[in-house]
A and B are shown apart, each in its own frame.
Chain A
Amino acid sequence: MPDTISSNDPSDGAYNYAYLDEQTKRMIRRAILKAVAVPGYQVPFGGREMPLPYGWGTGGIQVTAAIIGRDDTLKVIDQGADDTTNAVSIRRFFARVADVATTTRTEEATVIQTRHRVPETPLKDGQILVFQVPIPEPLRMLEPRETETRTLHALSEYGVMQVSLYESIARHGRIAKTYNYPVLVNGRYIMSPSPIPKFDNPKLDRNPALQLYGAGREKRIYAVPPHTPVKSLDFDDHPFEIERWTECCALCGSTQSFLDEMIVDDAGKRRFICSDTDYCQERQEEQRR
């Protein structure tokens, strides 16, 4: 990872490079290394108070702050878009405290911090995808107790997770879970992919980029190293499947991307547009050429 030697930016003289002090960064990096060594395992870390509220990406921000350097190019997306308010706010934060180049182009970015999406453009070796995670524990809604879920993970006792999928089929005739869809990482740990739509789950599998997951409020970091198998849980006779749209993107015509639905008039008329703004613009520019 590029240089992170401390130096004080004149505009924010009171703060260290990338906001966190070097001790804290080292602590976070140790947690990241452990997370990479045990894919899908939630590593507790001494999460700090950040100048942004809990639940607004503090975990992702701490991970990014610990790994970012001056040579990096940062992209921040929220719901797939670079110009949603919180993405703008986080990008401005790093431009200010880490003096780092920012981009909206997936291809150009070395570090991509994301909330709720994986970019449509395939990622490459050397890129790092940092997820903001609200609830890192995939079993939390089934078992509220930390002491118990820790035991279940340690012993690979995952029957209860399969029970929840069984219940979904029994009630709805299909697995009706749509986002934060649980995955099994490297055949060992069940992991929450953060609230990405299940549409994005297949992109996690054997992805050449490093995936880092940061949960600030819950103080956990976990990771999926490059090329690691990630399997979405399912049944043999009810295999995992992703969302499909009958429409295509109204701007770029894509039929392959995740579409956001917009209500464009009072009569409730609808329009569908790519959630990944960079992907959509790239396609539109290509079509103009």
Chain B
Amino acid sequence: MTAPILSAKGVTKRFGSRVACRGVSFDLWPGEVLGIVGESGSGKTTLLNCLAGRLIPDEGHVAYETASVGTVDVHQLSEARRRLLARTEWGFVHQDAREGLRMGASAGANIGERLMAIGARHYGEIRGTASDWLSRVEIDLDRLDDRPTAYSGGMRQRLQIARNLVSEPRLVFMDEPTGGLDVSVQARLLDLLRGLVDSFHLSAVLVTHDLGVARLLTHRLMVMQGGEVVEAGLTDQVLDDPQHAYTQMLVASILPV
């Protein structure tokens, strides 16, 4: 049996007197997609940022099983190591693509940046890989030299995904990747994400308030309310037979759709 790729133990984060998340523990297994659902303000984005080392929790630990050097404590790593990990073995997809993209650089450069950061120095090859990824995320090749400012919201989000996956990360954090997109664009993006997760055998932690997105993409779910996990389990189980009153309410609220 392999070790979990990410393991959280008792993660707690406070902002002043307000507790954003409390005592969250879970294991994420290789190839697994874990969804974190809840209303806005339930603490799911704070938790995601703690897991990805972007925030330091007040209590608890997050362990990551690296590709080569065994298990590391995410928050004990030096900034240099953590940033290296973040641009090689990890990906982070922001809800607002502008935060995850270099808006002043072309799509090709956006995709190529991670490759160049880890030493790629052949322009033709970098461009080739960038083109390859652009078509994988279903963007026309003649948009390769355009800046993301000239892209639609859905295209920006797909470009952000390509920029993250080009270095073939093992673990991807996603914060509402379909938020703010209209329904048809969402559906296409979800399809694409599902395909990529499968074909690259990615492990992922996905934050969403949309149970439909969770149903489509995740294997397992954690339901958060007021900073605490109130229910966890296999996605289908949680959504088809919710045990906690809050989960029942969440599920009921989407049924009419």
Verify that A and B bind, or say they do not: yes
What is A's interface to B at a CB cutoff of 8 Å?
A: 151, 154-155, 157-160, 162-163, 166-167, 169-171, 234-238
CB proximity of A240 to chain B, nearest CB, Å? 12
CA distance A279 to B79 in the complex (A): 50
CB proximity of B129 to chain A, nearest CB, Å? 12
Q: Taking A170-B145, A236-B121 as contacts, is the C-beta distance between A162 and B106 under 8 angstroms?
A: no
Q: Which residues of A contact B84 (CB under 8 A)?
A: 155
In the complex, B219 has a CB within 8 A of chain A: no
Nearest 3 pairs of A and B residues by beta carbon:
A159-B117, A162-B116, A235-B123
Q: A162-B117, A237-B123 are in contact. List 15 more A-B contacts (CB 8 A).
A: A155-B79, A159-B113, A159-B114, A159-B116, A162-B116, A166-B112, A166-B123, A170-B106, A170-B108, A170-B109, A171-B106, A235-B126, A236-B123, A237-B124, A238-B123
CA distance A151 to B80 in the complex (A): 9
Q: Taking A155-B79, A157-B83, A157-B117 as contacts, is the C-beta distance between A163 and B112 under 8 angstroms?
A: yes
11 example contacts (A-B, Cβ-Cβ < 8 A) are as follows A151-B79, A159-B113, A160-B102, A162-B116, A166-B116, A166-B126, A169-B123, A170-B127, A236-B121, A236-B123, A237-B124
Q: Which residues of A contact B105 (CB under 8 A)?
A: 163, 167
Q: Which residues of A contact B112 (CB under 8 A)?
A: 163, 166
Q: Taking A169-B123, A170-B108, A238-B123 as contacts, is the C-beta distance between A163 and B79 under 8 angstroms?
A: no
CB proximity of B80 to chain A, nearest CB, Å? 5
What is B's interface to A at a CB cutoff of 8 Å?
A: 79-80, 83-84, 87, 102, 105-106, 108-109, 112-114, 116-118, 121-124, 126-127, 144-145
Q: Which of B106, B113, B118 contacts A160 (CB 8 A)?
A: B113
Nearest chain A residue, comparing its CB with the CB of B78: A155
CB proximity of B105 to chain A, nearest CB, Å? 6
CA distance A160 to B144 in the complex (A): 18
Q: Which of A158, A167, A238 contacts B109 (CB 8 A)?
A: A167
CA distance A162 to B106 in the complex (A): 13
CA distance A169 to B80 in the complex (A): 30
Q: Taking A166-B112, A237-B123, A238-B123 as contacts, is the C-beta distance between A158 and B117 under 8 angstroms?
A: yes
A-B CB pair tally, cutoff 8 Å: 57
Q: Are B121 and A235 in contact (CB under 8 A)?
A: yes
Q: Which residues of A contact B145 (CB under 8 A)?
A: 170-171
CB proximity of B131 to chain A, nearest CB, Å? 12
Q: Which of A155, A158, A166 contacts B108 (CB 8 A)?
A: A166
CB proximity of B95 to chain A, nearest CB, Å? 22
By DSSP majority rule, is chain B's interface helix, strand, loop, or mixed?
helix
Q: Which residues of B contact A171 (CB under 8 A)?
A: 106, 145
CB proximity of B91 to chain A, nearest CB, Å? 15
Q: Taking A159-B113, A163-B112, A167-B109 as contacts, is the C-beta distance between A236 and B102 under 8 angstroms?
A: no
Nearest chain A residue, comparing its CB with the CB of B122: A236
Q: Are A235 and B122 in contact (CB under 8 A)?
A: yes
Q: Which residues of A contact B118 (CB under 8 A)?
A: 159
CB proximity of A117 to chain B, nearest CB, Å? 29
Q: Are A163 and B102 in contact (CB under 8 A)?
A: yes
CB proximity of A64 to chain B, nearest CB, Å? 36
Q: Which residues of B contact A158 (CB under 8 A)?
A: 117
CA distance A236 to B84 in the complex (A): 24
Q: Which residues of A contact B109 (CB under 8 A)?
A: 163, 166-167, 170
Nearest chain A residue, comparing its CB with the CB of B112: A166
Q: Are A163 and B113 in contact (CB under 8 A)?
A: yes
CB proximity of A139 to chain B, nearest CB, Å? 13
CA distance A166 to B122 in the complex (A): 10
Q: Which residues of A contact B126 (CB under 8 A)?
A: 166, 235
Q: Which residues of B contact A160 (CB under 8 A)?
A: 102, 113
Q: Which residues of B contact A170 (CB under 8 A)?
A: 106, 108-109, 127, 144-145
Nearest chain A residue, comparing its CB with the CB of B110: A163
CA distance A204 to B79 in the complex (A): 33
CA distance A16 to B126 in the complex (A): 57
CA distance A158 to B119 in the complex (A): 9
Q: Are A237 and B83 in contact (CB under 8 A)?
A: no
Q: Are B80 and A155 in contact (CB under 8 A)?
A: yes
CA distance A154 to B84 in the complex (A): 13
CA distance A236 to B126 in the complex (A): 11
CA distance A157 to B84 in the complex (A): 9
CB proximity of B118 to chain A, nearest CB, Å? 8
Nearest chain A residue, comparing its CB with the CB of B124: A237
CA distance A235 to B127 in the complex (A): 12
CB proximity of B125 to chain A, nearest CB, Å? 8
CA distance A117 to B114 in the complex (A): 35
CA distance A59 to B127 in the complex (A): 41
Nearest chain B residue, comparing its CB with the CB of A161: B116
CA distance A170 to B108 in the complex (A): 8
